[in-house]
Structure 1
Amino acid sequence: MQKNVNILVDANQNLLKIRRYLIFFYVSLCSLSGCNEATNTLDIQMEKKGEKVVSIRFAYPENSKDIAVYLQGEKETALLGSFDGVGEQQRFTPVVPFTSGEAYEIRKGDEVLSKFVIPPSISEKTAEIIEIYPVQDTVPQNLLKIYIQFSRPMQNVGNALDYITVYNETEKKEEQLFLSLETELWNREHDRLTLWLDPGRIKTDLIPNREEGPPLSTGNDYILVISDTWKTTDGQTLKQGYRKTWHVTERDETKPDVENWNIIPPNPDSRSPLTIQFEEPVDFVLAKESLTIQNDNGEALSGQWEVSSLATSVRFIPTKFWDAGNYNLLVDAKLEDWAGNNLNRLFDENLLTQPKQVEYNDIFMKPFVIE
């Protein structure tokens, strides 16, 4: 009998301990999430269109004019949108669909009625940075721009530079290398961002160059750090942050020269790739846009261009089999190297000292034969 009493006492004591732990956990959780702010948690149902949450439904017995939906933490500006519903059932549809992964509040004045989080959409593709171009760990002192390639479309964040930090490892200080633009340079898919180093500091004898010097210093090492808090359009943060180290070499003061390129022709009656080797790395993106293969009849060949990761060569894979014969490689003069030197002139060329009559070509041509 005594043994049973002891067991019962021990069980009661354990229950009291568990109760205390639960109370402590609840108080701690509320202190973190602000339970005391939400006096009436609403049962919120989300309506989707595709992967986007386009509206929410909930029961609210009072006039919907008294309430508004806010991004959590936003004190003044409510989301633009409209309420509609029948009786106590309300539906709120924002002008812009809710952002996946973001937290929102329904408020009546200063009172928080409820909070909700839009769940991140499920995607097979992880949100990450695929590459930063140029890929090389050494860059010229007059590097003009870089590309950041993401695996998925990214949000408009107002200022992408808020997520990017550059450290000058040699001089032990943070640097502001990139030009802040009012309209950021994203591609159509919004998964590649172009960042320019300040051209005014790169071009010698311009006022920014004389007052601040070039963005990069020869011989120095720099570390580019990208925060993992950057989000995709559907609210996913990056899988991890990104670090890239550059060692800065001397200025690149030579233009790309088509005559110095090596064309390796394929065998006829095949779809083997044609390979073109450059004498120096070129702009990764422009390389895809600047090259055309033309047959002896002046017809442009259809096919696919593949740029090597170092942008030191490209391959052209034709849609149809190669015929034996004469061909021309046409190169748009806009093609640049990483210092912004194109086929016609140097980026930092002093036009005042150049000959008055300079012939600029729109297209450069290099013939080759498949036999």
Structure 2
Amino acid sequence: MFKLGFLVNPIAGIGGSVAFKGSDGEDIAKQAKALGAEPKSNLRAKLALEVLVPYKDKITIYTGNGDMGEETARSLGFTVEVVHHYQGDNSTALDTEALVEALQQQQVDLLLFAGGDGTARNVCAKVQGFFPVLGIPAGVKIHSGVYALTPTAAGRVVEEMVNNELVSFLEADVMDIDETAFRQGIVKARRYGEMQIPSHLQYIQAVKSGGKETDELVLMDIAAHIIEQMDEELFVMGSGSTVAAIMQEMALDNTLLGVDLVQEQDLVAQDVTEHMLYSALHEAKEQGQDVKLVITVIGGQGHILGRGNQQLSPRIIRTIGKDNIFIVATKRKLQALDHRPLIVDSGDPTLDAELSGYLPVITGFHDQVLYPVASPGLLHA
């Protein structure tokens, strides 16, 4: 039997849809829930486990009670052993650490955990010796190199281990940022340690590349192309430095790590939540206005959806429509991907499949390239 440790941070990513830039801290989670945010980490964890359902007779899952993993694992019919019980209504970071210690005592073959960089820090704090782990991306911040590219990709890696395929392991950095500075648009990353992860270049992400675009002329050309498209439509401006350059060219305030709304080159709403965005889209549609979305590649991973822009939920993307999405990136950034596809990780596998294929990427003024878009893990589904 393959002994799989399974840990879910139930509140991971809950702040994303309401533009909180993270979920660290009990007060942040409470505020997010008060604004209508719903926990999604167990849904993302379930996507990973669904890949393993055909092998459930070969797997025993060791986990925490309730929404720390037990409920999701049992719902899919796995054999489950609960090795940690949290007290009260909600688990805490201390419960995450306690569960990691319990899983090490059980000598599980792999710890599969769902969360963000804060969760990775908690796991790393209690990991001792050679203890392989793999993260299911479920947080707002995913800077650490211990995460799979998508939840389904995480499941694919475990699938290979269950099938006794040759899997190498490597040391990956655990990174986290200062959320207070992050909410002010300042990225201050810090390394907190490293953990052993199964190595698979197709499914495991690299640590995000830092720095800003330096090719100002290219960014000006990209901005000119987008600005030329702007008429009466409502433009949803995503996060990232390339989109920020477009906003700067229009002399508009920009939320580097959020989502803004622009119409006729005027800023109409800043740092919007998912709910605010959904309402704005429907109001525009009712008035007969088209809606466009401008997004870019996030860091060196190749993500265009699912990293730092959880406001762009599946219902938002469907309301806008695939044909109304502008992807912008410099050719230098695309070349840095070394032929790897752009990645969509919306949380909805059906939508991710619909978005996959070759899509145009705006790389200059009236200059576009066709580039592959995929959701790793769905490739072999």
TM-score of the pair, normalised by structure 2 = 0.22
Identify which of structures 1 and 2 has the higher relative contact order when contacts are C-alpha pairs closer than 8 Å and 6+ apart. Answer: 2
Structure with the bigger percentage of helix:
2
Structure with the bigger percentage of strand:
1
Larger Rg: 1
TM-score of the pair, normalised by structure 1 = 0.22
